[in-house]
């Protein structure tokens, strides 16, 4: 059986390590780090995620503020909110939760963020810093994956890493971080030919696709490490049966709960892998931890510590 890479344990360690840094900020007489989250419209999944972010901030003594403009907001109105936050010295990080409701121009909003407060690392300036391997806020989910690998003593150096997915928030920054860690990196996507064969080359396979159970047995080389970034809710019995056909136990679990969360890797077909991240409980918990780590780092920078 593969080793399970426990994201919650790594998250807890990251948060524990932030505490002395927060103490130092407090002792220096400085204000606490400040994070502003802008959630446009009431998307239930985003709301849960944002609530968790705010709660974790409170537990650590990070000031956080949630702004919830309505889904009918215009691009100009969101730009004005971001400009207001950008001007406030007690706000170190600004996060505009995506996806933004149509027709808000997400690109203009992103470009209006001051790169020094771009806690998600999505501004093109910070993307450039990532490519150049200069210090700057890094995209939280891929940065969390790197922490998970490092703290489980999985060193990408010299390994063949394959990333499935080329999104700006996961796939691309993930590939770049693995490259900086000296892996030989292949990025696969929806137009890749021979996807299965490409993936089977991987010593480290990262799946960030958004398709439940997509990575099947034949995608994975024996002894590979599989990092599953996907979070997919199976909300109908048909969807559950498509992933768990013939598995009475899992289907009974669906019947009891009414839905199941699965990753992009098939949860029952990776027994030949050396290590896998569970879903839930693998990569997911690290995203918030890295967001807070980025907020603390920006505060240290802004306070000159």
Closer Cβ to ligand NAD, 94 or 143, answer by number: 143
Closer Cβ to ligand NAD, 131 or 305, answer by number: 131
Residue 265 has which token pair?
Answer: 């890797």
- The nearest distance, CB 212 to ligand NAD, in angstroms, is 8
CA dist., res. 94 & res. 223, Å (int): 40
Angle between helices 284-302 and 7-27 (to 10 degrees): 20
Which residues are near ligand NAD by CB under 6 A?
141, 164-167, 169-171, 188-190, 192, 195, 208-211, 229-232, 283-284, 287
Closer Cβ to ligand NAD, 24 or 105, answer by number: 105
CA dist., res. 155 & res. 159, Å (int): 8
**SS3 of residue 171 by DSSP:** helix
Residue nearest to ligand NAD (CB): 167
Closer Cβ to ligand NAD, 30 or 281, answer by number: 281
CA dist., res. 117 & res. 126, Å (int): 10
Q: Determine if residue 222 is left, alpha or beta; phi over 0 gives left, psi from -120 to 50 gives alpha, anything else beta.
A: beta
Residues serving a catalytic function are 53, 97, 120
H or E segment and range at residue 140: helix 140-151
What separation in angstroms does the CA of 302 have from each of 92, 95, 204? Answer: 7, 17, 36
CA dist., res. 47 & res. 18, Å (int): 25
* Residue 255 neighbours by CB distance under 10 Å: 10
Closer Cβ to ligand NAD, 31 or 196, answer by number: 196
């Amino acid at each position: 059986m593969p080793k399970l890479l426990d994201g919650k344990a790594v998250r807890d360690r990251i948060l524990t390590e932030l505490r002395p840094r927060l103490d130092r900020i407090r002792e220096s007489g400085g204000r606490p780090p400040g994070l502003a989250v802008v959630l446009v419209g009431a998307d239930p999944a985003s709301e849960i995620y944002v609530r968790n972010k705010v709660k974790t901030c409170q537990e650590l003594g990070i000031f956080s503020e949630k702004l919830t403009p309505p889904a009918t907001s215009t691009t100009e109105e969101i730009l004005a909110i971001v400009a207001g936050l950008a001007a406030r010295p007690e706000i170190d990080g600004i996060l505009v939760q995506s996806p933004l409701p149509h027709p808000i121009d997400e690109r203009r909003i992103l470009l209006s963020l001051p790169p020094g407060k771009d806690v998600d690392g999505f501004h093109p300036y910070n993307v450039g810093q990532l490519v150049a391997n200069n210090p700057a806020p890094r995209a939280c989910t891929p940065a969390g994956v790197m922490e998970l690998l490092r703290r489980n003593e999985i060193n990408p150096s010299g390994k063949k890493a394959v990333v499935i997915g080329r999104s700006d928030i996961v796939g691309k920054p993930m590939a770049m971080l693995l490259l900086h860690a000296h892996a030989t990196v292949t990025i696969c996507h929806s137009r890749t030919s021979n996807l299965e064969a490409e993936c089977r080359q991987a010593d480290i396979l990262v799946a960030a696709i958004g398709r439940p159970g997509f990575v099947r047995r034949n995608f994975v080389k024996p002894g590979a490490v599989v990092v599953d970034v996907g979070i997919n809710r199976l909300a109908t019995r048909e969807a559950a049966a498509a992933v768990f056909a013939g598995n009475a136990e899992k289907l009974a679990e669906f019947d009891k709960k009414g839905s199941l969360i699965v990753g992009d890797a098939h949860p029952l077909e990776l027994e030949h892998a050396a290590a896998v991240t569970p879903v839930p409980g693998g990569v997911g918990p690290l995203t918030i931890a890295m967001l807070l780590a980025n907020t603390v780092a920006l505060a240290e920078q802004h306070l000159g510590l």
